[in-house]
C-alpha cells in the first residue's frame, strides 16, 4: 500500500549559527530556528541558540565536529530528507556559516536532487568573529590586501596540498581545523618563504565565555598551541595584521593567554 503524501509539503533551511555567542546570530536565523519543527544541530552550536526553538520542536544532536563525526554525513543527509518528506520544516543548524567548511553544499545538493525546497541563511564565519574579538582588521590598507580562508585538515586527516608559495606571499591567513596539523602548516609556510616573525594568534572557543587567546609568531604558534592544550574549536590567524592586536595586548586591553 502506498503511503499518503503529507498534507503540507516539507522544506529545509540550512542555517548558520555563527561562532557561538547567541547575539551573533542573524535575526533571520533566530526567526527560522523558532519556526522549525525539527532542528538538526552540530556540536559547535551553543545552548543559548538552541533555546530559541519552539516548544515541542525536535532537537537532534548530529554531533559533528572537526574529525569527530558521531553521525556520518550521508546519515545526516538522509535524516534531513526523511523529516522534510514527512511534511516537516527542518532546520540544519551549523556552526559559523553553512558554506564555509560546513558541508552545506553537500546537503544542498541532496535536497535539490530530492526536490525538497531549501533555503540558505548565512552565519558569521569564525574568521570574521575572531577578527572582531581580537580587534584585528582582516584586511588593512597598506598591510594586508587579501584574506585566505583555508583548512589545515583534509578527508585523510592530513595537511591539504595548498599553493604554499601563494599563501606565504602575504595577506591574512585564517586557518580552520588547524590544531593537529599546525606544526606541518607552519613548516610549509616557512619553507615557502614566509617570515618566521610574522605575527600569529590562536583563539579557542571564540565569542564564548570560555574563549582563550594566544599570541606568537609563525615560528612559535604551533608549539604554543600544543603546550596550552584544550579541546575547544580553535582558529589560527597568521599575518601582519595580527600585530595590531598584539600592540593592543601590551596596552590596556585585557587580552589573556590560554592557561
Ligand atoms: C568544520 S569547521 C566549521 C566552520 C564553520 N562553518 C564556520 O564558518 O566558522 C570547524 C572549525 O571552525 C573553527 N571554529 C568554529 N567555531 C569556532 C570557535 N567558536 N572558536 C574558534 N574556532 C572555531 C575551528 O577552526 C574548527 O576546527
- Domain with residue 112: its CATH number is 3.40.1010.10
Last residue in a domain, options 96, 121, 146: 121
Specify whether 28 is located in the same domain as 97. yes
Specify whether 57 is located in the same domain as 143. no
| C-alpha 79 to ligand 1 mean position (Å) | 23
pLDDT in tens, 104-141: 999 999 999 999 999 999 999 999 999 999 999 999 99
Residue 5 lies in a domain: no
Specify whether 137 is located in the same domain as 58. no
Residue in 21, 37, 64, 97 annotated catalytic: 64
What is the rounded CA–CA span in Å between residue 20 and residue 207?
A: 6
Q: CA 15 → CA 179, 189, 227, distances in Å?
A: 26, 34, 35
The chain-wide mean pLDDT, for the chain, equals 90
Q: Are 197 and 219 in contact (CB under 8 A)?
A: yes
Residue 173 lies in a domain: yes
Specify whether 135 is located in the same domain as 170. yes
pLDDT in tens, 160-205: 999 999 999 989 999 999 999 999 999 999 999 999 999 999 999 9
Residue 259 lies in a domain: no
For the cut 50, the answer to whether the pLDDT of residue 229 exceeds it is yes
Given this model, what pLDDT does residue 16 score?
A: 97
The grid cell for 235 is 582558529
* Residues whose CB is less than 8 angstroms from the CB of residue 90 and which lie 6 or more positions away in sequence, other chains included: 10, 11, 12, 13, 36, 37, 38, 39, 40, 80, 83, 84
Buried b (16+ CB within 10 A) or exposed e, 75-114: ebbebbbebbbeebbbbbbbbbbbbbbbbbeebbebbeee
**CB neighbour class for 42 (10 Å; exposed up to 12, middle 13-18, buried from 19):** buried
Residue 2 lies in a domain: no
CATH of the domain at 211: 3.30.950.10
Residue 23 lies in a domain: yes
Residue 257 lies in a domain: no
| C-alpha 235 to ligand 1 mean position (Å) | 7
For the cut 80, the answer to whether the pLDDT of residue 23 exceeds it is yes
The backbone torsions φ and ψ at residue 157, rounded to the nearest 5 degrees and listed phi first, read 65, 25
Specify whether 27 is located in the same domain as 105. yes
Last residue in a domain, options 91, 121, 151: 121
Specify whether 110 is located in the same domain as 131. no
Specify whether 149 is located in the same domain as 72. no
Residue in 21, 42, 94, 97 annotated catalytic: 42
For the cut 50, the answer to whether the pLDDT of residue 259 exceeds it is no
The residue range of the domain holding 160 is 126-250
Return the best residue to mutate from 68, 176, 182 for the ligand 1 pocket (most ligand atoms within 8 A of CB). Answer: 176
Confidence class for position 256, pLDDT limits 50, 70, 90: very low
Specify whether 89 is located in the same domain as 141. no
Name which residue sits closest to atom 1 of ligand 1, judged by CA: 66
| C-alpha 86 to ligand 1 mean position (Å) | 32
For the cut 90, the answer to whether the pLDDT of residue 258 exceeds it is no
42 is catalytic: yes
For the cut 90, the answer to whether the pLDDT of residue 6 exceeds it is no
Specify whether 56 is located in the same domain as 163. no
Residue 62 lies in a domain: yes
Last residue in a domain, options 74, 106, 121: 121
| C-alpha 125 to ligand 1 mean position (Å) | 7
Specify whether 43 is located in the same domain as 107. yes
For the cut 90, the answer to whether the pLDDT of residue 64 exceeds it is no
Specify whether 117 is located in the same domain as 159. no
Specify whether 46 is located in the same domain as 31. yes
> Is the distance from the beta carbon of residue 102 to the nearest atom of ligand 1 less than 6 Å?
yes
Total number of domains in the chain? 2
Residue 161 lies in a domain: yes
Amino acid at each position: 500500500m502506498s503511503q499518503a503524501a503529507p498534507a503540507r509539503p516539507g522544506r529545509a533551511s540550512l542555517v548558520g549559527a555563527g561562532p557561538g555567542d547567541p547575539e551573533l546570530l542573524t535575526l533571520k536565523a533566530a526567526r527560522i530556528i523558532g519556526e522549525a519543527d525539527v532542528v538538526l544541530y552540530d556540536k559547535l552550536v551553543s545552548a543559548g541558540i538552541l533555546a530559541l526553538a519552539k516548544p515541542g520542536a525536535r532537537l537532534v544532536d548530529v554531533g559533528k565536529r572537526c574529525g569527530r563525526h558521531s553521525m556520518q554525513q550521508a546519515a545526516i543527509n538522509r535524516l534531513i530528507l526523511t523529516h522534510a518528506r514527512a511534511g516537516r520544516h527542518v532546520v540544519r543548524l551549523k556552526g559559523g556559516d553553512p558554506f564555509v567548511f560546513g558541508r552545506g553544499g553537500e546537503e544542498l545538493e541532496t535536497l535539490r536532487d530530492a526536490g525538497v525546497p531549501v533555503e540558505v541563511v548565512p552565519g558569521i564565519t569564525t574568521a570574521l568573529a575572531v577578527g572582531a574579538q581580537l580587534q584585528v582588521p582582516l584586511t588593512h590598507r597598506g598591510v594586508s590586501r587579501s584574506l585566505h580562508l583555508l583548512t589545515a585538515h583534509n578527508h585523510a586527516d592530513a595537511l591539504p596540498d595548498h599553493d604554499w608559495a601563494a599563501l606565504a606571499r602575504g595577506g591574512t591567513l585564517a586557518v580552520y581545523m588547524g590544531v593537529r596539523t599546525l606544526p606541518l602548516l607552519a613548516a610549509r609556510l616557512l619553507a615557502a618563504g614566509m617570515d618566521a616573525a610574522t605575527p600569529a594568534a590562536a583563539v579557542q572557543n571564540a565569542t564564548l565565555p570560555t574563549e582563550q587567546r594566544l599570541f606568537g609568531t609563525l615560528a612559535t604558534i604551533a608549539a604554543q598551541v600544543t603546550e596550552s592544550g584544550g579541546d575547544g574549536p580553535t582558529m589560527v590567524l597568521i599575518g601582519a595584521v595580527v600585530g595590531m592586536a598584539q600592540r593592543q595586548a601590551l596596552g590596556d586591553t585585557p587580552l589573556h593567554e590560554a592557561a
